[in-house]
A and B are shown apart, each in its own frame.
Chain A
Amino acid sequence: MNTSPDVRKNLGEVFRQGGARALLIDLSGVRYMDSSGIATLVEAMQNCMKRGMRLRLVALSPPVRDVFELARLASVFEIFPGVNEATTGL
Chain B
Amino acid sequence: MVYQYVIIMAKSFNYISLSSVSIPKGVFDYVELANKIVYKYPSDKFYWIGTGDIPKGLDGRNVCFTGFLNEKEKKRMLTKSNTIFLNCSHFEGFSVPIAEACLLKVPVLCYKLPELYATYGPHINYVNCYNSNEFFKCLELLRKNFVIYKEKAVLARRFVIENYSAHKFTSKFMNSLEVLNERRIK
A joins B in a complex: no
A interface residue numbers (CB < 8 A to B): none
